[in-house]
Amino acid sequence: MADINIVQEHSLSNEAARAAAQKVADRLAGEYGLACRWDGDVLRFARSGVEGALTLGEQRAAMRIKLGFFASAFAPTIEAKVAESMRKVFA
C-alpha cells in the first residue's frame, strides 16, 4: 500500500477553490474511474484499490490518496500527474 500526500497553496476565494477542486476531481474521475462526492469542504473519491480526499483550507488544498496493493506500483506516476494538475488549477 502507498500513501500520497500533496499540499498546494493558493490565493483563491472559497468559490474559486471549490471550482478548482472540482476540476481536479473531474480529471481524476475521467482518468482513473473514481467516484467523487463533496462532504462540506472535503471532496472524497474512491474506487476499488484507491481512496482519498481533497480538503480545502483558506489558502491551501491538501490531497491525500491511499493506494491499494496493485495501484501502489503506479504511485510515482499518479503523484506526479495529480501534483501537476493541482498546480495548474490552483495557480
Q: Which residue has the cell 476565494?
A: 13
Q: Which residue has the cell 490531497?
A: 63
Q: Half-sphere exposure of residue 53, counting CA atoms within 13 Å on the CB side? A: 9
According to the model, what pLDDT value does residue 91 have?
Answer: 81
The residue ranges of the chain whose pLDDT is under 50 are: none
According to the model, what pLDDT value does residue 40 have?
Answer: 93
Regarding the domain with residue range 2-89, which homologous superfamily does it belong to in the CATH classification? Alpha-D-phosphohexomutase, C-terminal domain (3.30.310.50)
- Between CA 42 and CA 63 the distance in angstroms is 10
User: What residue spans define the domains of the chain?
Assistant: 2-89
What pTM did the predictor assign?
Answer: 0.88
